[in-house]
Structure 1
Amino acid sequence: MKFTDELWASIEHIYDAILELPFIKELTNGTLPEDVFIFYLKQDTLYLAEFSRALSLAGIRSDSTKQMYDFLHFASRAVVVEQQLHQNFYEEYGTEMNPEKSPSCFAYTNFLLSTAATKDNAVNIAALLPCFWIYRKVGMEIYKNAADDNPYQDWIDTYAGEEFEESVNRAIAITNDVAADESEERLQEMKQAFIKATELEWMFWNSAYQKEQWPLQEVLEGS
């Protein structure tokens, strides 16, 4: 069994819970409200900026030149390809970015950046993997079941596409390569980071559907 097989087995129940989220179900059948999708896009744009920084740090800290190149390529793709996808939707919907991170987005990005800055790079790599792997699995599941004339088809096609699959497969392979040289203690750290990032993936999807706000902001707006 590969190390990543063990990782996936540890979070499969969380992945199943992600597929049951209203956001995912309504995105699949094309009934997700436009304002919810826009809220998600804006939070994801903010997330990707920090995700790309964590990817860059993983590349800089890699012992392998090939791995360094791969992570820097991942980082540039997150900025260029995925954020361009977002920008296309912003133009279509006539909206602009909102710079305020939701609590869940803040928690997720801070987890990734603090892991990248303070933990062993193997742990950082494990923490970054769910964003690749979960998005790919969710994207493929949505693609297989998407309603005809789905208004979010461009988003669906991006994460179900071959180019993204190649990145995911490479990220999985890197994680296995790195794990092969680590102690059992370090492998457990990697596993815990992978699980935590997957839990934050669930929180991110769920918070988008709720159009999550900071509690104080809600109090002030309601006063």
Structure 2
Amino acid sequence: MSLSAELWAGSADLAGAALAHPFVTGIADGTLPRERFAGYVAQDAFFLEAFARAYALGVARSRDRATLEAFADLLAGVRGELRLHDGYAARWGIDLSVVEPVAATLAYTEFLLATAALGDVGEVCAAMTPCMRLYAHLGQALVPRATGPYREWVDTYADPGFEELAATLEALLDRLAAGTPAVRRAYRRAMELELAFFDAAWRGEGSVGGQ
């Protein structure tokens, strides 16, 4: 079993909790209150900007061309997610430039950026892979039953192109990381922070009404 597959299997409990989370099931069946989804969009846009910066640090710290190009491709992929959020923001009158991050968002972005700045490249991959793999997992699991106003969100993460990006990052993890305690902690911590992000969104932290 590859390291990425082993780490993913080791966090199956958190992946299952995310799939069953009321925020996620509310996206799938369209019952999630719009103000909670709007708040999530605003917080996730802030998060994705930090995610892009972490990829940029990966580009800067790459020691070979293959790694540099892989991180550059992944950085470009973030633009697609940001365009999704920009679309919701434009339709719902959300000003993403004035978003105040809530505690769960700050905890995740600070963890990512600290790891990207101070950890080795393998640890950076371990910290970033859970976001990509979890969202691909959620999109693929939800797409057969997704209905309502959030179907675009599900389709974005169920898209084969997003799966390809997740696999690219997992391949980097397998090539650049060893199964050290630091790598395992970084992966597990990122999965925990993903679940905390959904918890905050479900509680309505950072909710915005839009127009």
Query: Aligned partners of 2:76 and 2:171: how far apart in 1?
Result: 19
**Secondary structure of 2:46's partner?**
helix
User: What is aligned with 1:216?
Assistant: none
Give the distance between the partners of 1:64 and 1:134, measured in 2 at CA.
Answer: 28
Number of the residue aligned with 1:106 = 106
TM-score (norm 2): 0.93
Aligned counterpart, 1:6: 6
- What is the letter of the counterpart of residue 164 of structure 2? E
CA distance in 1: counterparts of 2:199 and 2:80, whole angstroms: 24
State whether structure 2 residue 167 is matched by structure 1 residue 160: no
Give the aligned CA root-mean-square deviation in angstroms.
1.3
Deviation per CA, 1:82-132, whole angstroms, max 9, x where unpaired? 111111111212222242001000000000000111111111111010111
AA matched with 1:198: M
Tell which deviates more after alignment, 114-123 or 43-52: 114-123
Q: Deviations over 1:175-209 (max 9, x none)?
A: 11113xx4x5xx22111100000000000111111
Q: Which residue of structure 1 lines up, in the alignment, with residue 188 of structure 2?
A: 195
Shift of 1:145: 2.1
- Correspondence for 1:135: 135
Equivalent of 1:176, from 174, 177, 182? Answer: 174
Shift of 1:73: 2.0
- Structure 2: gaps spanning 5 or more residues: 207-211
Q: Which has the larger Rg?
A: 1
Query: 1:108-123, aligned counterparts within 5 Å?
Result: 108-123=108-123
CA–CA distance in structure 2, aligned partners of residues 96 and 162 of structure 1: 30
Q: Matches of 2:93 and 2:100 in 1, distance apart?
A: 19
- AA of the residue aligned to 2:130: P
Partner secondary structure for residue 95 of structure 1: coil
Segments of 4+ in structure 1 off by > 6 A?
none
User: 2 CA distance for matches of 1:134 and 1:75?
Assistant: 18
Alignment of 1:1-223 (within 5 A): 1-78=1-78, 80-97=79-96, 98-147=98-147, 150-179=148-177, 182=178, 187-212=180-205
Which letter maps to 2:184? K
Distance in 1 (CA, whole Å) between partners of 2:140 and 2:70 is: 23
Report the residue type matching 1:42 in the other structure.
A
**What is the identity, as a one-letter code, of the residue corresponding to 1:207?**
A
Amino acid at match of 2:82: Q
Seq. identity, %: 33
Amino acid at match of 1:68: L
CA offsets 1:22-47 (integer angstroms, 9 cap, x no match): 10111110111110110000000000
Aligned length: 205
- One-letter amino acid of the structure 2 residue matched with residue 194 of structure 1: Y
Residues of 2 paired with 1:156 and 1:105: CA distance? 21
Give SS of 1:212's match. Answer: coil
